[in-house]
Structure 1
Amino acid sequence: MNTISVPRGKLLNTFRKMSMAVNKDLESGGRRSTSSGTRFQVIDKHSISEPDQKIIMQQMFRFRKRIHHGRIDVFWLREAGGLTMLVPYLLTHAGSFLEGAHIRVFTKTDGKDNKKINEEQKSMAAILRKFHIDSSDLHILPEFAKPPCKKTYDDFREKIEPYRAETNAKEKIEGTFDNDQLFNLREKTRSFLRASELIREHSSDADLIICTLPSARADIPPPIYMGWIDMLSKQVPPTCLVRGNQVSMSALNLKFP
């Protein structure tokens, strides 16, 4: 996850200028003919000129412009409710910046034989049918079982290392972790790091990535959890991490028009 550190005064000043630009555009008729085809012409290089203001503006309005022939890649890491599939379904409808986008779905498999993989493919295809999503671009990835590469592990360790505490420390500082906690969460860490590799491998050219949000629990130290989040969302395309209400999809009676 990339964060932007901007002074509060500059942030408020940027919002104020953007709001004035939008209101002025609306008063002039709401639609202006521009070469890019955007609905509102809010970019004013004279009123918004500082580098940090331009960064904020780009982040705020990146989803305003319609993307034609877009693609949404969904990484279904586990069944955590239907929101992970509902969000891309809604984004393909009229009014969205990804209206009419093509949806690809990737999920992992625990089976090694073709019979098990076929069963999981049928189960996932049934979920997609509930959302009227074409299952022809469903990908079951057995590569999830492979361990992440050393560089991925090194990147993760570099992010969390400042928050590591001594295992036998008398007083543990809040917001830190020790080697025992990291060891106990090694399988989850391996899974999420491998998922981040596959997302980069398969979806570096997607217009939006939607991925299952890891479950947050009291026994997971914040630095490790945020390290997982950072690794999953560090892709070049915008990445949306979503988690539902844990209700099984088989228990839902969905009806869409």
Structure 2
Amino acid sequence: MQLLMKKFRIKCDDIQVISDLNVRPSVESWKLFQDMIEPFRLHEGSKDTTQAEALRKEHPWKITDHELDTFEEKTIRQVRLNELLQESSRAAKLVVVSMPIARKGSVSDYLYMAWLDSLTKNLPPTLLIRGNHQSVLTYYS
């Protein structure tokens, strides 16, 4: 990675590989995330089936309980990654991170934006990069 950065004339002093990404985030970080998404939650699990369907039709953009359960692991990963980035990159001039991938229609806009917000919260300027799983860099030595 350092050789690639050097080849593209990007000055890089330090590259850190994150190893404990699958550890659950702290209670405080998780609570901040839950508080952030609360106004956008549907909470249809506490309603009967008819009410839940009506809520989903009336507010299709809100985050459902099923969606949170389905993407719980990915959500936890974004919150934990922010904790690790804050620990190791607080003094950085620029943080470069891969954007979380979400297929269109599989995750709501509000949950995806919550991932981005929690990923970049309290960080220095952050560049989010999204790829398409194809090599697109062309360079000549």
**Interval of TM-score (by shorter of Structure 1 and Structure 2):** 0.7 to 0.9
For structure 1, the 5+ residue unaligned runs are 1-124
Normalised to the residue count of structure 2, the TM-score between the two structures is 0.78
Match 2:86 to one of 193, 200, 205: 200
For structure 2, the 5+ residue unaligned runs are none
User: Hey, what does 2:25 align to over in structure 1?
Assistant: 148
**Counterparts of 1:255 and 1:170, CA distance in 2:** 53
- One-letter amino acid of the counterpart of residue 234, structure 1: K
Alignment length (residue pairs): 128
Match 1:223 to one of 99, 110, 113: 110
**Counterparts of 1:177 and 1:253, CA distance in 2:** 37
Q: 1:135 to 1:241 in 2, by over 3 A?
A: closer
User: Hey, what does 1:62 align to over in structure 2?
Assistant: none
User: Hey, what does 1:212 align to over in structure 2?
Assistant: 98
User: Hey, what does 2:70 align to over in structure 1?
Assistant: 184
Larger relative CO (CA 8 A, sep 6+): 1 or 2?
Answer: 2
Give, in angstroms, the shift of residue 219 of structure 1: 1.2
CA contact (8 A) 2:85 2:123 kept: no
**Counterparts of 2:31 and 2:75, CA distance in 1:** 12
**Counterparts of 1:246 and 1:199, CA distance in 2:** 24
Q: 1:244 to 1:234 in 2, by over 3 A?
A: same
- One-letter amino acid of the counterpart of residue 202, structure 1: S
Asked which structure has the greater CA Rg, the reply is 1
SS at match of 1:240: strand
Root-mean-square deviation over aligned CA pairs: 2.3
**Counterparts of 1:161 and 1:225, CA distance in 2:** 14
Percent identity for Structure 1 against Structure 2:
30
**Counterparts of 2:110 and 2:13, CA distance in 1:** 39
User: Hey, what does 2:3 align to over in structure 1?
Assistant: 129
**Counterparts of 1:145 and 1:170, CA distance in 2:** 34
- One-letter amino acid of the counterpart of residue 254, structure 1: T
User: Hey, what does 2:53 align to over in structure 1?
Assistant: 170
Give, in angstroms, the shift of residue 145 of structure 1: 2.2
Q: 1:184 to 1:243 in 2, by over 3 A?
A: same
